[in-house]
Amino acid sequence: MAFQPAKQVYTGAIREVTLGSGDKAVTVGGKKVFPFHSFEGTIPHPPRVAMEVWDKDPSAEWAEAAKAPFLDVLADSAAWARKCVDQYGAEMIVVQTKSADPNGDNKPAEEVAEVVSKVINAVDVPVVIWGVANHEKDTEVMRLTAEKCSDKRLALSPVEEGDYKQVGAACLAYKHVVVASSPIDVNLAKQLNILLGNLGVAGQDIVIDPTTGGLGYGLEYSYSVMERIVQAALTQEDEKLQQPIIANVGNEVWKCKEANLSAEDAPALGDPARRGILMEAVTAVGLLLAGADIVVMRHPDAIKLVKQFIAKMT
């Protein structure tokens, strides 16, 4: 008797969400099977890698290895974004509005929105604006940028239970995408999607961020919550969880201690540049296998490794 492999039954699909406008718009989601399980069903869009740009010079905070590829542009966010697109072939940009952080530089919202708009106008690929998870500040910045760049179909992140009404309204008014963010919990993710639905935000306008933990710092929780969300969406017909997932990988990995230790500080951990790059790539691969549709990354070499992985798996 010929071997009959055990089958997985699927009953649902992840919704398709399109980010950006024009030729370079990108559609994510749409899969009807578990991540990379193309041997048993359709995956219309491969997962994507978005490149991270900060709205301020990160030199004081970044590891040497992460800075090296961008030394010429770190002080100019728009030039940095262009470099990502032109030289590294970025298909999507994430602007992290670090300068807005009330616990840090606390730049006024107008100034932050100004820089963010410059970045958006400097590139033709989709842009995600990633705030600092301070509801008041994020709401201000998001509202200003959403209005300024109303034709761009941006994605605004993180939209949390505490500010979904304000940011959600801005998305609705200017036709942007909501990145619904919840702390590592299937039910909280679902609840936020329901709240957004009640507000009038449609499924094709929501990407979810179930929160990313770094490698060695809670990655396993993110990994499992993503697997559970994808299972609920594809095998339990949980309508409210059938959204594409985004994971803010680079930011999380590179802030951990081991990604930043120099060779002098940690001779036992090997080459610091390759260590950081692999920590980032390993985390991204783990979360892609768990169900992420977009991974936000920092180092061009880590991105290359992950893109190559996606290409071989597709």
Please give the residue ranges that form the binding site for ligand B12 (CB under 6 A): 133, 183-185, 188, 211, 213, 217-218, 221, 252
Retrieve residue 260's tokens: 């930043």
Residue 246 β-bridge partners: 294
Q: Which does 6 bind (CB under 5 to 8 A by kind): another protein, ligand B12, none?
A: another protein
Cα angle 157-188-298, degrees, rounded to a multiple of 5: 35
The interface partner of residue 305, options being ligand B12, another protein, none and the CB cut-off 5 to 8 Å by kind, is: another protein
> Of 151 and 312, which has the nearer Cβ to another protein?
312
d(CA 146, CA 150): 6
Is residue 162 part of the contact set for another protein (CB under 8 A)? Answer: no
> CB count, 10 Å around CB of 106?
13
State which residue, 160 or 293, has the beta carbon closest to ligand B12: 160
C-beta closer to another protein: residue 2 or 23: 2
Q: Which of 57, 111, 185, 227 binds another protein (CB under 8 A)?
A: 227
| Residue 51 bridge partners (DSSP) | 93, 297
Of the two residues 99 and 117, which places its CB atom closer to another protein in the complex? Answer: 99
Sequence-ordered alpha helix ranges (H) in the chain? 64-67, 77-86, 109-122, 135-148, 164-174, 186-199, 219-235, 249-254, 257-260, 272-290, 300-313
**Cβ-proximal residues to 124 (8 Å cutoff; 6+ apart), any chain:** 22, 23, 24, 85
Residue of the chain from 281, 292, 295, 303 that contacts another protein (CB under 8 A): 281
Q: Which of 85, 167, 163 is nearest to 121 (CA)?
A: 85
218 counts as binding another protein under rule CB under 8 A: yes
| Minimal distance, residue 101 CB to another protein, in Å | 12
Contact between 164 and another protein per CB under 8 A: no
Q: How far apart are CA 118 and CA 40, in angstroms?
A: 44
Residue 185's binding partner, choosing from ligand B12, another protein, none, with beta-carbon cut-off 5 to 8 A by kind? ligand B12
Say if residues 285 and 306 touch (Cβ distance below 8 Å): yes
- Contact partner, 133, from ligand B12, another protein, none, Cβ < 5-8 Å per class: ligand B12
The SS3 assignment for 255 reads coil
CB of 22 to another protein, least distance (A): 32
List residues binding another protein (CB under 8 A): 2-3, 5-6, 8, 36-39, 183, 215-220, 223-224, 227-228, 231, 255, 257-258, 260, 268-272, 274-275, 277-279, 281-283, 285-286, 289-290, 301, 305-306, 308-309, 312-314
